[in-house]
Every structure is written in C-alpha cells, then in structure tokens.
C-alpha cells in the first residue's frame, strides 16, 4: 500500500497492535493476515500483545459472530464489537487488553533493570 514507507515509524517501540476489520468482507479476512505478519510477527511482538476486533456495522448480518479464523490468527484474542448492542462489553475488553499490555511493559522493564544490575 502507499503507506508502507511509514510502517517502520509506526512500528518503532510499539507495545501492542489492535487490528479492526469487517468480518463480512472476505478481503478483510485476507488482509488481517498481512497486518498480523507485518506488525506482530516481524517485530516481534507476542500474540498476547495483539487484539483482533471484528466490527459489526449497525444492521449487519449477525451470523459472523461465530467467526472461525485460520492459524495463526486463531491464536489471537478476538472480540466482536457492535456499538449499538453492547458498547460496555467492548469497553471492558479494551481495558483488559490495555492492562495486559501495561503488565508486559512493566515485566520487560524489570527484567532489563535486573540484567543491568547483575
């Protein structure tokens, strides 16, 4: 894509990646594999540092709720967002995700400090 030259700057020192996609578009399902490969695997980040958000537009077909993604995407935390029906659920999932990222950052910092000391 025309933004690829910006990717290294976006990735630099990033601690987490949230990929939001429309589960009703087959093209999006292919694209998220590419985003995962570029932004998570090549960094490398842990799978726990990546959150997939299947965003359902108002009035969209609900049968994509039981979305089954292929490996390696099926290892990632997947949440469904439907802001009409359950915005609170989405908010809670985001808070949980951010807490887990903060925990990872703190653990990494402690390990680095210990390695400097020892």
Instruction: Give me the residue spans of the domains in the chain.
Output: 10-117
CATH of domain 10-117: 3.40.50
Question: What SS3 class is residue 54?
Answer: strand
Q: What are φ and ψ of residue 18, in 5° steps?
A: -115, 125
Contacts of 88 (CB under 8 A, 6+ apart): none
Write the pLDDT tens digit of every residue in 62-104.
555 678 888 999 999 999 998 777 788 899 999 999 999 999 9
User: Rounded CA gap, 75 and 68, in Å?
Assistant: 11
Give the alpha-carbon dihedral of 30, 5, 54, 70, to 10 degrees.
Answer: 30
pTM of the model: 0.83
């Amino acid at each position: 894509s025309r933004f690829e030259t910006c990717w290294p700057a976006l990735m630099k020192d990033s601690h987490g990646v949230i990929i939001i996609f429309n589960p009703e578009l087959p093209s999006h399902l292919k694209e998220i594999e590419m985003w995962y490969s570029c932004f998570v695997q090549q960094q490398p980040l842990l799978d726990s540092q990546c959150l997939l958000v299947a965003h359902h537009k108002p009035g969209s077909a609900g049968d994509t709720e039981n979305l089954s993604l292929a490996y390696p995407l099926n290892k990632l935390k997947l949440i469904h967002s439907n802001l009409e029906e359950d915005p609170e659920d989405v908010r809670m999932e985001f808070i949980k995700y951010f807490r887990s990222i903060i925990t990872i950052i703190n653990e990494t910092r402690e390990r680095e400090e210990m390695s400097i000391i020892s």
